Structure 1
Amino acid sequence: MPFRKYKSNTAFLDLLFNCLLGIAVLFFISFILVNPFQKQADIKTKAEFVVTVTWPKDNQDDVDTWLEDPAGNVCFFRQKEIGLMHLDRDDRGSVNDVIQLPDGSFILFPHNQELLTIRGIIGGEFTLNIHMYSKRSQDGTPVDITIDKLNPRLQRIFARTIQLTEQWQEETVTRFTLAGDGELLSLDNLYKPIVKTEVANVRRP
């Protein structure tokens, strides 16, 4: 008696399912790899200008960055976020350069740098000053200051080096004027003190 032969699609369906599963896994991995770069780009677009203040590494001096916006708001170590300005870190020279890890070991970060970002655009004049809060070294301290415009492309609009030699010395780095669309209209360094005496004389914790 002849036997009937039944045709089955099970093998074909299994193969198709495995192919689809493989494609889904590859897509998921690609999404994980690409997504962090997208987030980094999103973060960068939230700042319009970056002010960088740097002085020699291993130097013990405490240099402060002060920025006054057109509305009269002043961003500095006691007021790290105000208006559209944000001071990323109050670098105090050699103080707090050593970090202890949970295992008891230490990490040394000898670089001296402060970053201040302007997250949006306000038309008018900004005043950028640096202030020698604590002079611990014997020689003069060269301080490098740059201002970078981030959008629509990275552009350095200002760079200068100033020598600080004395305790409490305050220097106007630049006074720069922006248009409402962020275009740089003018630069000058006419001295304008903005360090408040009553604030500068308060000892840090």
Structure 2
Amino acid sequence: MALFRPRGHDDVDPFTDLLFNALLTFTFLFLVALLLLNPPAKTGIVDPKAEFLITVSWPDGNPNDIDVWVAGPEGEEVSYKRPQAGLMNLDRDDRGMVNDTQVVNGVEISNPINQEVLTIRGRPAGEYVVNLHYFKTQAEGGDENVDLARVPVTVYLAEVNPQLKVLFYNTTVLEKEGDEVTAFRFTITAEGNVTGINQLQKSLVKGPGKS
């Protein structure tokens, strides 16, 4: 098989021909390598972005433990006991000041923020119930600890896509350990829209058949 020879250069020696064809081969292999390093995106990859965001927060530095519980259309529930069910995910379970410190370069750093975050990564139709539960108080009795035991809890529901939109925002005061309130309920229609936001009470933590 004859090597490729540039037109008009019949007097070029064979060694130059060899170098020229080697250069062409190297260039071809380089282009193939670039294609292999950037393969086409695979189909079927799940995009983990959320459709709805539920955030529960209470005062920074408050040592009390507040939990969020959410029940979905099929009766599935998400809480610290079961952080994932269907398309609902408890992304952050906050226990007040417990486990809120870490050592970085020999220095203990405290995170005073109290916040639980739950996401819904789709729009399954039906009603959702969002409850707040006062799991544990760090106040140990006495009139001087009354204010420490009472916890104002702020909760909001936001629609993330196609743009961030706050659908509900409210603050509720939990008076003592064991209190449970329905912060809000809402319904996602078959078309994916949110409607029927209300505060009709329903127990999730201590409902029928629960201890």
Q: What TM-score, normalized to structure 1? A: 0.74
Indicate the residue corresponding to 2:88 in structure 1. Answer: 85
Q: Does 1:62 align with 2:65?
A: yes
Aligned 8 A contact 1:133 1:200 in 2: no
- Bigger CA drift: 150-159 or 109-118? 150-159
Q: What amino acid is aligned across from residue 122 of structure 1 in structure 2?
A: P
Unaligned runs of 5+ in 2: 1-46, 140-144
Q: Distance in 2 between matches of 1:113 and 1:92?
A: 9
Aligned 8 A contact 2:48 2:121 in 1: no
The CA deviation at 1:197 is 7.1
Indicate the residue corresponding to 1:117 in structure 2. Answer: 119
Aligned length in residues = 187
Q: 2:136 aligns with which of 134, 153, 156?
A: 134
Q: Distance in 1 between matches of 2:103 and 2:187?
A: 43
The CA deviation at 1:122 is 1.1
Alignment of 1:186-197 (within 5 A): 186-196=196-206
Aligned 8 A contact 1:53 1:146 in 2: yes
Q: 1:76 aligns with which of 68, 75, 79?
A: 79
Q: What amino acid is aligned across from residue 128 of structure 2 in structure 1?
A: F
RMSD: 3.5
SS in 1 for 2:92: coil
Q: What amino acid is aligned across from residue 136 of structure 2 in structure 1?
A: S
- Structure 1 or 2, whichever has the larger Rg, is 2
Question: Structure 1, residues 142-174: CA drift from partner, whole Å, max 9, x if none?
Answer: 100000001111111000100011110000011
Q: Distance in 2 between matches of 1:186 and 1:154?
A: 19
Q: Distance in 2 between matches of 1:148 and 1:68?
A: 17
Task: Give the structure with the higher percent helix.
Answer: 1
The CA deviation at 1:54 is 0.4
Aligned 8 A contact 1:146 1:156 in 2: yes
Q: 1:155 aligns with which of 157, 165, 169?
A: 165
Question: Structure 1, residues 100-150: CA drift from partner, whole Å, max 9, x if none?
Answer: 23x432221110000000011111110000000012243221100000001
Indicate the residue corresponding to 2:180 in structure 1. Answer: 170
Unaligned runs of 5+ in 1: 1-41
Distance 1:189-1:153 versus aligned 2 partners, 3 A rule:
same
| Dislocated runs of 4+, deviation >3 Å | 196-201
SS in 2 for 1:168: coil
Q: What TM-score, normalized to structure 2? A: 0.72
